[in-house]
Structure 1
């Protein structure tokens, strides 16, 4: 299989990230299908997907359907949904998935496949916070999953219209940390779309970098309403961020992950994202469920498996939940 117009590519989820990928991939000449709902489905069918990013305006025509059966078996599927939607979504994807289909979850937080493809005492373990009772594992052959960590900040201006003001980066890797033909296939597909794409033999290193970013910013943004720039630059918030960062860094190290950034460089990098509202803050403001289980609870669960406590992180998660609960009433 090679990257060509004959490749069947689908994106499940038409939010900010899904539309960003759809616009970029379709604009490269690779046909793309999308699974969408409601007003977004109507807009994409009539006007396509529009992306405003550092390259300017990118308008692309994609096929949009609300039923997986209408699309049929795909070669590559990008799952671009919230972690909270996975339990209801994955059982519906079977019409898209054939024996050779590559499934790329583009989802925040600790992935349900985290312990797949690894050796040692945790091999094959289930993370209850993101995969309760093994529900997600039962829906999809884990051997078909390709790991992905996405560093794209984007927001939806209106259905099918997305804006992103920072560089795009995707890191891809096999759960077993091996290089493979399918890894290079998907990496090339992404690279040709104008998004920087890297193949990694240590995908969990990149995964923990993103987990650190999400954990130190998303719950705190719900509590404070602060942007990324404020979270990582205001002295009072930086003090809290440092405590959460250090707690999570210990857990990352306990699982053998190597983080390329020291704390100060990490904060400077993310403060440089500017006046960006986190995806969790956007969800909170819109009254949508928060990804606290995948972004926070799963990390605390991983810590408990190592006999390590995360007191500050647990307090922040509790406050974010109370904030969300009080706002919903």
Structure 2
């Protein structure tokens, strides 16, 4: 029996409910999720492409954590039609890759298939199911040009996701996890209601050693991660340094607190309960995805990480001069390399 609606059950599997889970866009983060979920006993398939796909087909998908390496057999294809309907689709595509989801998602959908959007920044669905307690957001139509995602994805299928996990594809078919003590996927309905499918999904993630504690507000989780991305990650892009490199550079001793203060003010205007982020705490010696995309010549997530937060600030009438400056520099840098046209 498939994972179905909020009040229906699925047959218990090995220690938990066995689910058919498709990772759509299984790059570094998605491949990590796929291995852990497959090792936990779920029927995992992956939509991937290129040499990574060919290696997985030939040798399985491998995950390295420190000196350890584990392998999982997953169904892998560049064509979603070969994989069939799923209980859950977890999209780990970056925002720039979501048009591929629109064109490929239909064969994966059963009557009650949930789609988890585990991406960085402000998601395209942010104002769908927005609880009345939240202030109205600015116009975010630029996150979904032509409303293609809204037309293809019913509200009932949307599950918000916030992923905390640093990974790299070190060679085709092999992904290395760089955050062994911090691998988390927070999930919640877009209207924050409780549901059986969210409970089952959290249980599956926890069993797979992907921390997924209960949360009451998925947008609070989105902003909590975004606070770092819209400040520290943009500085990494501008300097070419890792997050730790920026954090430890004396030149940014006073800059980072100013950026975080402005970012906190935006988040607190829209989500008063969000926990204020400060400079304290270690930073990973890892290049954030924004910088990785720039260096690899890939389309960049400027809209969701830079443009959207700026729109929220302006709609709230907040003054954010430091964030405005680094946003303008980031946009120009991306445009100069032909990686952003907005």
TM-score after normalising by structure 2: 0.88
1:289 aligns with 2:304: no
What residue number does 2:142 align with? Answer: 129
1:145 aligns with 2:158: yes
CA contact (8 A) 2:138 2:312 kept: no
Q: Secondary structure at the match of 2:38?
A: helix
Residue 172 of structure 1 deviates from its aligned partner by 1.4
CA distance in 2, matches of 1:56, 1:252: 39
What residue number does 2:258 align with? Answer: 243
Q: CA RMSD in A?
A: 2.1
1:214 aligns with 2:229: yes
CA distance in 2, matches of 1:65, 1:193: 23
CA distance in 2, matches of 1:209, 1:297: 17
1:154 aligns with 2:163: no
CA contact (8 A) 2:137 2:312 kept: no
CA contact (8 A) 2:24 2:48 kept: yes
1:26-62 per-position Cα deviation (integer Å, ceiling 9, x unaligned):
1112120000112111111011111112582121111
What residue number does 1:280 align with? Answer: 290
Name stretches of at least 5 consecutive residues in structure 1 with no aligned partner: none
What residue number does 1:324 align with? Answer: 334
1:225 aligns with 2:237: no
CA distance in 1, matches of 2:67, 2:196: 29
Choose which of 22, 32, 35 in structure 1 pairs with 2:34: 22
Residue 198 of structure 1 deviates from its aligned partner by 1.2
Residue 309 of structure 1 deviates from its aligned partner by 3.7
Residue 128 of structure 1 deviates from its aligned partner by 2.4
What residue number does 2:267 align with? Answer: 252
1:174 aligns with 2:189: yes
What residue number does 2:98 align with? Answer: 86
1:70-128 per-position Cα deviation (integer Å, ceiling 9, x unaligned):
11211100001111111243232111122300110111110111122224486697512
1:300 aligns with 2:313: no
1:247-271 per-position Cα deviation (integer Å, ceiling 9, x unaligned):
1211111112433344133xx24x2
Residues 123, 324 of structure 1: CA spacing in aligned structure 2 closer, same or farther, 3 A cutoff? closer
CA distance in 1, matches of 2:94, 2:318: 28
Q: Secondary structure at the match of 2:141?
A: coil
What residue number does 2:325 align with? Answer: 315
1:142-174 per-position Cα deviation (integer Å, ceiling 9, x unaligned):
221111111111111112211112121121112
Q: Secondary structure at the match of 2:140?
A: coil
Residue 6 of structure 1 deviates from its aligned partner by 5.1
Quick check: 142-151 or 307-316, which moved more? 307-316
The count of residues paired between Structure 1 and Structure 2 equals: 324
1:185-212 per-position Cα deviation (integer Å, ceiling 9, x unaligned):
1101111111111121112221111111
1:37 aligns with 2:49: yes
> Aligned ranges for residues 32-111 of structure 1 at < 5 Å?
32-53=44-65, 56-111=68-123
CA distance in 2, matches of 1:170, 1:318: 31
1:253-312 per-position Cα deviation (integer Å, ceiling 9, x unaligned):
1112433344133xx24x2x2x21111111111110111111111111122222224332
Residue 25 of structure 1 deviates from its aligned partner by 0.7
Bigger fraction of residues in helix: 1
Q: Secondary structure at the match of 2:170?
A: strand
